């Protein structure tokens, strides 16, 4: 793989992370679920041991949340390209909810190339500091 292809994959996956945060803050659940592969897996930073599998189950989990105002910040994004169809990523997150102190955590991601573009195959969150 040439470096231009690698950089393009890194950019696409980094964009996916930022898009996810923005859509989450805007409560655009259907669009978030569409960022996952149909068989994708998610764990929330606040519940890292609870696996939610499949884009439809992920959509249902987001819709089941009580309404709240949030602002997610993702930084220190590092993407490692495995091959033309697979990549891994890590980012730090900071979540403000207005309900208490900010939450600090991270996501470990696995990405897969699909006919619709790059998607999350796996998104595992965890908190760095517990309340």
Average the pLDDT over 72-79 and give the result: 97
The token pair at 78 is: 């590092």
Task: Look at residue 130 and tell me whether its pLDDT is greater than 90.
Answer: no
Beta bridge partners of 43: 124
Provide the pLDDT for residue 131: 62
pTM for this predicted structure: 0.94
Question: pLDDT, tens digit, for every residue of 100-119?
Answer: 899 999 999 999 999 999 99
Residue 121 zone, left/alpha/beta (φ > 0; ψ -120 to 50; rest): alpha
The residue segments making up the domain with residue 55 are 3-127
Average the pLDDT over 41-68 and give the result: 95
d(CA 22, CA 116) in angstroms, rounded, equals: 20
Task: Look at residue 89 and tell me whether its pLDDT is greater than 90.
Answer: yes
To the nearest whole number, what is the mean pLDDT of the chain? 96
Provide the pLDDT for residue 4: 93
d(CA 88, CA 94) in angstroms, rounded, equals: 20
Q: Name which of 96, 91, 92 is nearest 72 in CA terms.
A: 96
Provide the pLDDT for residue 108: 98
Confidence of residue 120 (pLDDT cuts 50, 70, 90): very high
CATH number for 65 = 3.10.450.50
Based on the structure, what is the number of domains in the chain? 1
């Amino acid at each position: 793989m040439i470096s231009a292809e690698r950089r393009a994959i890194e950019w696409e996956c980094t964009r996916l992370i930022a898009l996810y945060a923005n859509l989450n803050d805007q409560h655009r659940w259907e669009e978030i679920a569409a960022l996952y592969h149909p068989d994708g897996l998610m764990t929330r930073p606040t519940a890292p041991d609870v696996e939610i599998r499949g884009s439809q189950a992920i959509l249902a989990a987001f819709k089941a949340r009580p309404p709240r105002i949030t602002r997610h910040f993702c930084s220190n994004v590092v993407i490692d390209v495995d091959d033309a169809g697979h990549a891994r990523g890590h980012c730090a997150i900071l979540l403000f909810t207005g309900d208490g102190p900010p939450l600090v955590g991270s996501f470990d991601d696995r990405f897969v190339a699909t006919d619709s573009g790059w998607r999350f195959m796996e998104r595992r969150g965890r908190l760095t500091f517990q309340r």
